[in-house]
């Protein structure tokens, strides 16, 4: 165990927020992150109340030679917002969301969660294209690129970033935009969190909701190859307003799932109509093509729903306290060989919590040049693959880790870029 060292010095007196160190009440909660597999013990956690607090905390880290981690939503599976013997700069109090519905802009504190952003913007029928888990932090998902249900129609989160307030390593606070510090602005859009601490984001908004069209078609494991081939046929003709995702999962214990199907493993095709009109003819056309295929789903569930409900649909299944190991990559398409690997590997997964998400990335996603931002995923049409191994406890995690690694290795020859395991 890491030795307890009191690094607080005069930091408590200089900070409006709170400093928490090992052995003090609240330390375990202050260091806790979403992935319960991460048990790091920071040297201290600076729970900043405002931007000057961030500057002070960062200066203290420089003075004392401490490594720095930045905490927003703390949802990163690798635990980048923690770290042993680090100074964690906790931005959770910097979570204000200010919407300008006329200009269709929103200013968002670096510690805000997606559900807080969605709640504020949906009051005006507007949204920032972000991820799909409501308790994700806006900082991490933006700096990494940001994809979700609106990506085909509206692009990545970074494609809507207009400016950012950033605390640099030397303590300066700057505004990065296309006109101010443009190199930094380029790097922030997809380049990760090592260029500074973003205390506020300024985004453009798009009209979405408050209601959208949701459609889920759930098929058994044996239908996996046929479902993936159907998805391959559907994707080229998808209307630009439709979000489309392929998910391998166990059927949730939801009211719309037949009792004899609950927890059964299988494949889902999810069709999201984003234009808000009811009925949404674009989404319905895709749903009809799925129904016309020579496949019998174990159930289908098609209904209008609030956009905010869609954005939090996976929150419970991936709630705080799970043990997670994940890997990802990009598939150029669903070749027969890739379909064989996917269907075979999904049938071998152990935990009913473990999921595979295949995001359809084209349309607005591909309308941005590869070098326009620091996002390294490439912008040609593709599928974004997420292999998410989840276990309710530590004992089950090794099996999920092995499954994720084995599946990624089997798929490596079919992915963009160099193979890795």
What is the mean pLDDT of the segment spanning 245-268? 96
Neighbours of 204 (CB within 10 A): 16
pLDDT at 110 over 70: yes
Q: For the CA atoms of the chain, what is the radius of gyration?
A: 22
350 strand-pairing partners: none
Instruction: Name the phi and psi angles at 249, rounded to 5.
Output: -160, 170
134 vs 7: which has the higher pLDDT: 134
pLDDT, tens digit, 9 for 90 and up, residues 344-392: 999 999 999 999 999 999 999 999 999 999 999 999 999 999 999 999 9
For residue 278, what pLDDT band results from cuts at 50, 70 and 90?
confident
pLDDT, tens digit, 9 for 90 and up, residues 87-98: 999 999 999 999
What pLDDT score was predicted for residue 9?
A: 76
First to last CA, the chain: 30
Q: Residue 308 is encoded by which pair of tokens? A: 């905010």
* Nearest CA-CA partner of 338 in 382, 379, 294, 289: 382
What residue ranges define each of the domains in the chain, with the CATH number in brackets?
Answer: 11-90 (3.30.43.10), 97-207 (3.30.465.10), 211-414 (3.40.462.20)
C-alpha 258/C-alpha 370 separation (Å) is 44
For residue 6, what pLDDT band results from cuts at 50, 70 and 90?
low
Pairing relationship of beta strands 382-391 and 355-361 according to DSSP bridges: antiparallel
pLDDT, tens digit, 9 for 90 and up, residues 134-153: 999 999 999 999 999 999 99
pLDDT at 1 over 80: no
pLDDT at 419 over 80: no
The whole-model pTM stands at 0.94
The CA-atom distances, in angstroms, between 399 and each of 37, 128, 329, 344 are 13, 37, 21, 17
C-alpha 403/C-alpha 401 separation (Å) is 5
C-alpha 298/C-alpha 405 separation (Å) is 30
pLDDT at 418 over 50: no
pLDDT, tens digit, 9 for 90 and up, residues 155-204: 999 999 999 999 999 999 999 999 999 999 999 999 998 999 999 999 99
């Amino acid at each position: 165990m890491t030795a307890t060292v009191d690094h607080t010095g005069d930091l408590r007196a200089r900070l409006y927020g709170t400093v928490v160190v090992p052995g003090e009440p609240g330390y375990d909660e202050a260091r806790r992150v979403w992935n319960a597999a991460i048990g790091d013990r920071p040297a201290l956690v600076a729970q900043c109340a405002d931007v000057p607090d961030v500057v002070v905390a960062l200066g203290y880290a420089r003075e004392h030679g401490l490594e720095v981690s930045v905490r927003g939503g703390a949802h990163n599976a690798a635990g980048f917002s923690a770290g042993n013997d680090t100074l964690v700069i906790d931005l959770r109090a910097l979570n204000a969301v200010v919407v300008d519905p006329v200009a269709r802009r929103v200013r968002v504190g670096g510690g805000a969660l997606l559900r807080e952003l969605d709640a504020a913007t949906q009051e005006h029928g507007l949204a920032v294209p972000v991820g799909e888990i409501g308790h994700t932090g806006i900082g991490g998902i933006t700096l990494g690129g940001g994809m979700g249900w609106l990506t085909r129609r509206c692009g990545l989160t970074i494609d809507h970033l207009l400016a950012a307030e950033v605390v640099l390593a030397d303590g300066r606070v700057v505004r990065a935009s296309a006109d101010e510090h443009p190199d930094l602005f380029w790097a922030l859009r997809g380049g990760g969190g090592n260029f500074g601490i973003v205390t506020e984001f300024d985004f453009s908004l798009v009209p979405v909701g408050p209601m959208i069209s949701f459609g889920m078609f759930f098929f058994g494991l044996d239908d996996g190859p046929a479902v993936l081939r159907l998805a391959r046929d559907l994707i080229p003709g998808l209307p630009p307003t439709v979000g489309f995702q392929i998910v391998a999962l166990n059927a949730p214990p939801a009211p719309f799932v037949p009792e004899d199907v609950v927890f059964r493993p299988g494949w889902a095709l999810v069709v999201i109509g984003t234009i808000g009109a009811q009925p949404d003819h674009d989404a319905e056309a895709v749903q009809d093509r799925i129904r016309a295929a020579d496949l019998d789903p174990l159930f289908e569930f098609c209904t209008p729903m609030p956009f905010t409900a869609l954005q939090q649909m996976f929150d419970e299944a991936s709630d705080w306290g799970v043990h997670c190991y994940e890997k990802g990559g990009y598939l150029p398409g669903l070749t027969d060989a890739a379909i064989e690997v996917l269907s075979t590997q999904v049938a071998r997964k152990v935990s009913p919590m473990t999921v595979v998400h295949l995001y359809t990335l084209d349309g607005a996603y591909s309308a941005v040049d590869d070098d326009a931002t620091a996002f390294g995923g490439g912008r040609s049409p593709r599928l974004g693959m997420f292999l998410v191994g989840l276990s309710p406890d530590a004992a089950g995690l090794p099996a999920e880790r092995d499954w994720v690694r084995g599946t990624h290795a089997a798929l490596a020859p079919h992915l963009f870029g160099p193979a890795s395991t």
